[in-house]
Amino acid sequence: MGNWIGVLIIVAMFAVVGVMGYFRLAPTDAESWHVDPTDLSLSDGKGAALVRADGALSSPVFDETPEALLARVDAVALETPRTRRIAGSVDAGRITYMTRSLIFGFPDFTTVTAIPSGAGAELVAYGRLRFGSSDMGVNKERLEGWLAQLGG
């Protein structure tokens, strides 16, 4: 009986390692995640957060051009641990990032743009998870942190 328990423990460990490997190694089609965050069909439902007039968070008007704001967002995002740019650029006017969780490596995707607002610019962002149905508020917290670092 004791041998079976040992075998089950080993099998369970391989299963956990396999699932973790899948989360980290599954291919990502960057263009499918590089969506327009101003698209009104997007929502901040399960595992998602929006920085937009109709989203969970709203952006202040920053006293700078949309291009300058997006460049600052890019710098803040790339300083975020385990975050990398997967699509877009400041010059293109829209950028998508992938941020992985520390332990399991779950990927979350955040797409940002900046739009003119009066004499300044506002951030529009859409953060969402890839796997599961709940991010436990991580995407909203990340976007709140980015806004705080931007001075908003």
> Tens digit of pLDDT per residue, the chain (152 long)?
668 887 777 777 766 666 666 666 678 888 999 999 999 999 888 889 999 988 889 999 999 999 999 999 999 999 999 999 999 999 999 999 999 999 888 999 999 999 999 999 999 999 999 988 888 899 999 999 999 999 97
| pLDDT recorded at residue 146 | 97
Burial of residue 16 (number of CB atoms within 10 Å: 0-12, 13-18, 19+): exposed
- Whether 147 contacts 50, CB under 8 Å: no
What whole-number distance in Å separates Cα of residue 105 and Cα of residue 101?
A: 5
Q: What residue type is 126 in one-letter code?
A: Y
What whole-number distance in Å separates Cα of residue 131 and Cα of residue 68?
A: 33
* Residue ranges of domains in the chain, CATH in brackets: 28-150 (3.30.310.80)
- The residues pairing with 126 across neighbouring beta strands, listed in sequence order, are 50, 111
pTM: 0.87
